[in-house]
Amino acid sequence: MSAIQISISAEPIFHLGQFVVTNSMFTSVLVTALLIVFAVCANRAVTSTSKNSRFRILVEFIIESLQNLTTGVVGTGKRAHLFGPLIVSFFIFILVNNWAGLIPGVGSIGIWEHHGEENIFVPYFRAGTADLNMTIALALISVVLTQVFGYSFQKLKYFSKFINFSNPLNFFVGVLELVLEVAKIVSFAFRLFGNIFAGEVLLTVMTALVPLIIPMPFYGMELFVGFIQALVFSMLSLVFFNMATIGHGEEH
């Protein structure tokens, strides 16, 4: 049995000048290209006046389901129109990146590199969300947008939850709120990364131990985990966006 090699960080596969391109970046670019092709096809299917195709029905089903999910949380109004596109994009982008790691060849097609006396296998492809840099990027987008939405709905009143000198207790709560915002980034990033990376490790180990049949249920489970994680990230973002736009005492 060959030695199992698992790297917690994405491996560089080539350089563009000083810019290092890792296998997860390469895969995520391919996923982006795939999603652009999907978007173009979906646009043609939706805007065509011919009869409904199965693809068009699928696209409408995905968008409508996610929009309904959004309106279920924030109601039908300005918020739904503002958050809907982001939630749909988060969900589809994360879902496809999660599932990209399950495509045969991802993680197994690569090159052996010599590092001193050691031979290290560097795969060409790695799921985008199995790289902490991507999950941090997504978490940053979510948390920054939460602040933007909070400000655009509540103006300066929004920041009063962070900076409040009315009494020492409120000041301390404000500091905690600030810490919470940073913790959100960490929580978002590590939850997604941890789940997807753990899934990949699990599949690698299972495949290395028993290559046939046994890994199949784990593949099914990873499909489910990929879906759930995309949903969790999207829903949490939606809830944070909504909470930021509602002032104190407006929740009820």
Partner 1 sequence: MDIKLDQILFQVLNFGVVFGAIVFLVYKPVIKVLDERAKKIHDADRAAEESLKEKDAIDELKKKEKVRAEKESAKMMEKAREQATELKKELTEKARAEIKLDKEKAMKSWELEKKGEHAAMRKEFVDAVYAVTEKVVGKAVDKKAHAGLIDKGLKELAQAM
Minimum distance, C-beta of residue 59 to partner 1, in the bound complex (Å):
6
Which DSSP state fits 7? Answer: -
Identity of residue 183: A
Q: Which residue has the tokens 């600030």?
A: 178
- Does residue 65 touch partner 1 according to CB under 8 A? no
Give the helix/strand (H/E) hosting 97. helix 78-100
Region of 32-40, 99-107, 156-164, 200-208 interacting with partner 1 (CB under 8 A) = 32-40
- Does residue 43 touch partner 1 according to CB under 8 A? yes
| Residue from 139, 177, 172 nearest 158 by CA | 177
In the list 101, 128, 174, 215, the residue contacting partner 1 (rule: CB under 8 A) is: 128
Strand-pair partners of 123 = 110
Write the secondary structure of 189-251 as one string of H (helix), E (strand) and C (coil).
HHHHHHHHHHHHHHHHHHHHHCCCCCHHHHHHHHHHHHHHHHHHHHHHHHHHHHHHHCCCCCC
Supply φ then ψ for residue 13, to 5 degrees.
-115, -30
Q: Which residue has the tokens 């693809």?
A: 55
Our CB check for partner 1 shows the closer of 63 and 208 to be 63
- Does residue 75 touch partner 1 according to CB under 8 A? no
The span from the CA of 44 to the CA of 135, in Å, is 31
Our CB check for partner 1 shows the closer of 46 and 231 to be 46
In the list 4, 14, 58, 64, the residue contacting partner 1 (rule: CB under 8 A) is: 64
| DSSP calls for 27-47 | HHHHHHHHHHHHHHHHHHHHH
In the list 13, 22, 150, 222, the residue contacting partner 1 (rule: CB under 8 A) is: 22
- Does residue 215 touch partner 1 according to CB under 8 A? no
Our CB check for partner 1 shows the closer of 72 and 220 to be 72
The 142-171 contact track toward partner 1, x by CB under 8 A, reads: ------------------------------
In the list 71, 73, 82, 133, the residue contacting partner 1 (rule: CB under 8 A) is: 133
- Does residue 9 touch partner 1 according to CB under 8 A? yes
Q: Which residues are near partner 1 by CB under 8 A?
A: 8-10, 19-20, 22, 25, 28-29, 32, 35-36, 38-40, 42-43, 46-47, 59-60, 63-64, 67, 84-86, 88-89, 92-93, 128, 131-134, 136-138, 140-141
